[in-house]
């Protein structure tokens, strides 16, 4: 179980896996800051506030809005994050063709996510765990089937960027992790996926907690198994 005082920030927590992680960490007694893009309310995260005993704060952030992310850092300046999980991502399936799918996935999944990592990492607590939501499809070593090339490429690029960031911060007192949540029944994963959100998020939360106090960069799935880069 998480320590009651654990401070967890989840970027992209309105629905799907981000919402599942917020739910799981609240269940474990943590304090959670979750971000959504739509401040007006109505998201799954907003629906959690009433049952969260004051341990859930909702912030607004779009990972592609650099000024908005810098403003978020200012609002959180006094906080120290034990866990920072940048979960936001798109599959690009609704894009008009290959070029647009590439542009969208790279813009959100790589540029946007890494800008959040670089901007909010200054808020990390000693012995914390900084993570991004990657995908098994981002593994170059395991790609023998092809398919979903823009999305795969974006997650491979995200992994590469995270490793560069981790290498540049080799002396930082926190760990860095790219996590593959499995294939999960969300809006992105679709109804035919084998895993439910609860099972994946329990595993991802366990992995994040296991990385507290660690160092270096790892690519792990939701069961804690190492994935080849």
Containing 46, the helix (H) or strand (E) segment is helix 44-48
Minimum CB distance to ligand NAP smaller for 11 or for 173: 11
State the DSSP string of 1-13: ---TT-EEEEES-
**Number of residues lying near ligand NAP (CB under 6 A):** 27
Q: Does 15 bind ligand NAP (CB under 6 A)?
A: yes
Q: Is residue 208 a contact partner of residue 129, using CB atoms and an 8 Å limit?
A: yes
Q: Is residue 13 a contact partner of residue 60, using CB atoms and an 8 Å limit?
A: no
Assigned token pair, 148: 């979903």
**How far apart are CB 134 and ligand NAP at their closest, in Å?**
7
Residues 182-221 as x/- pattern, contact with ligand NAP by CB under 6 A: -xx-xxxx---x----------------------------
With CB under 6 A as the contact rule, which of the stretches 13-21, 72-80, 159-167, 211-219 interacts with ligand NAP?
Answer: 13-21
Angle subtended by helix axes 16-27 and 197-210, to nearest 10: 60
Minimum CB distance to ligand NAP smaller for 16 or for 203: 16
133 strand-pairing partners: 179
Backbone angles phi, psi at 203, to 5 degrees: -65, -45
Residues 21-40 as x/- pattern, contact with ligand NAP by CB under 6 A: ----------------xx--
**Within positions 70 to 89, which residues make up the interface with ligand NAP, using CB under 6 A?**
87-89
Q: Is residue 153 a contact partner of residue 101, using CB atoms and an 8 Å limit?
A: no
Residue numbers of the site for ligand NAP (CB under 6 A)? 12, 14-18, 37-38, 62-64, 87-90, 108, 112, 133, 135, 181, 183-184, 186-189, 193
């Amino acid at each position: 179980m998480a320590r009651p005082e654990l401070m967890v920030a989840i970027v992209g927590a309105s629905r799907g896996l981000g919402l599942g992680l917020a739910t799981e960490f609240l269940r474990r007694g943590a304090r959670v800051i979750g971000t959504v893009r739509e401040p007006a309310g109505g998201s799954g995260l907003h629906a959690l506030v009433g049952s969260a005993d004051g341990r859930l704060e909702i912030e607004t952030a779009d990972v592609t809005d650099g000024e908005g992310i810098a403003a978020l850092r200012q609002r959180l300046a006094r906080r120290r994050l034990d866990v920072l999980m940048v979960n936001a991502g798109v599959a690009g399936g609704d894009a008009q063709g290959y070029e647009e799918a590439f542009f969208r996935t790279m813009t959100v999944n790589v540029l946007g996510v890494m800008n959040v990592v670089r901007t909010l990492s200054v808020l990390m607590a000693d012995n914390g765990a900084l993570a991004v939501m990657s995908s098994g499809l981002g593994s170059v070593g395991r790609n023998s089937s092809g398919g979903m090339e823009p999305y795969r490429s974006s997650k491979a690029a995200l992994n590469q960027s995270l490793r560069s960031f981790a290498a540049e911060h080799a002396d930082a007192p926190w760990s860095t992790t790219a996590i593959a949540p499995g294939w999960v029944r969300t809006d992105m994963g679709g109804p035919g996926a084998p895993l439910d959100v609860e099972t994946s998020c329990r595993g991802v939360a366990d992995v994040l907690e296991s990385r507290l106090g660690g160092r270096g960069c790892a690519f792990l799935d939701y069961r804690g198994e190492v994935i080849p880069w």
